[in-house]
Amino acid sequence: MSSSEGMDNLNEPKDVLNAMNSGTTARLFSGVLSGCPFFSVITGDDSLKRRPMERVTLPLREMGAKIYGRKNASFLPIAISGGNLKGIRYKLPVASAQVKSALLLAGLFADGETEIEETIKSRDHTERMLKHFGVKLDISGDKIKIKGGQRFSGREVVIPGDVSSASFFIAAGTIVENSEIVIKDVGLNETRTGFIRALLEMGGEIKIEDERIINEEKVGNIIVRSAKRLKGISISKEMVPALIDEIPLLALVACFAEGETIITGAEELKKKESDRLHTTLDGLKRLGADVEPLPDGMIIRGGKKLKGGEVESYGDHRIAMTFAIGGLAIEEGVYVNDFECVSVSFPEFLEKLEALKK
C-alpha cells in the first residue's frame, strides 16, 4: 500500500531521481516534472542511459519545459527546469504509450489544451487511470485531448497482475507437454493482450474466466493448457504495439509450431534493454532454430526440434526469462548467462518457475 498527497504537494527533490532500469518511470516522470516549478534531475542504470529520450524531451520542450542533457537531452541523465507549460498539438511519430503518457501528464499542468494524435493505437493504461481519478479526456478516433488545470480527487487503486509477466507462464503452459496453469487476477487490457490473441490464432488452448472491471481496467483469470498443434502466423506492424514486449517469447513459441511465423514492423525492439531482434535470433540460433532476420523483424520456421545449449541474456531480463521458458520444453535444458538480470522486473521468477515444475 502506498499513498500520495497529490500534485499540488510535489516538492523539489533533494537528490537525483534514479529510474534504475525503468524506461516508463524515466519518461512519465519527465512529463510530471516538466510541469513542476522547480529543478530536478533524472538518471538510470547503464542500460537505461543507452535508451533514447529525445522522443519525449522534444515535445516537452515544445510545451515550454527547459530540459538539458547529453546530446541535446537525447539520453539520461537529464535535468529539468519545469513550470509554465502551454498546451500543444502533437502527432506521435511512432506508437509509444510512454511518450503519450508523459504528454498527458504534462498536459495536466499546462495552460490550455493538449492534443495528442497516434498513428497506431498504443497502451491506454494512463487514459484509464486518469479517468478513474476524475480527469476529463476527449478521445475521438486517434486523437486525445486534455485540458490543463483540472481538479481531480485521489482514489484507491487496485493493481492487477501484469500480463507481460504472466505471458512467460502462458508460453510455458502452451509448449510444455501435459501442462495446465491457472493465473489469477491478471490485467487484460486489450492494448496489452496481443500475445494471447496471437497464441489463440496459432492454436493455443487459452481461456479467460471471471472477467470483471477494476479501476477502469479489465481483469480476469487465465487458464492455459498444452497446445495439441500450433501453426505459424504473420504478425504485422499494426499488431506489434499490443505484444511488443512479448515478441521474443512469441518467436520461441513459433519454433514449436508448424510452418513459418513472420514478424514485421518490430524495429522498436532494437531500442529496448538490448537489441531484442538480434538477441532473440542469436539465442534461437544457438538452440538450433531455423530463423532468418528481417530489417524490422524475423522469420521463424517451426517444426525443427530444438537442442539444449548455452545462450546469452545480454543483460536483458526479458531475453533471460524467454530462454528459461525454452529450457522447460527442451529435453537437454538451456543455460542462460547473466540470469541475475531478471531481478529488475521479476525477482521471484525463478521461484515461480520451480514451483510450476513441481
Please name the residue that has the C-alpha cell 537505461: 48
Q: How far apart are CA 119 and CA 265, in angstroms?
A: 13
To the query of whether residue 245 is one of the catalytic residues in this protein, the response is: yes
Please name the residue that has the C-alpha cell 487465465: 222
Cell of 95: 506508437
Cell of 240: 506489434
CB 210 within 8 A of CB 161: no
Which of 124, 185, 245, 338 is flagged as catalytic?
A: 245
Using omega within 30 degrees of 0 as the cis cutoff, is the peptide bond preceding 347 cis? Answer: no
Q: Which residues are catalytic?
A: 245
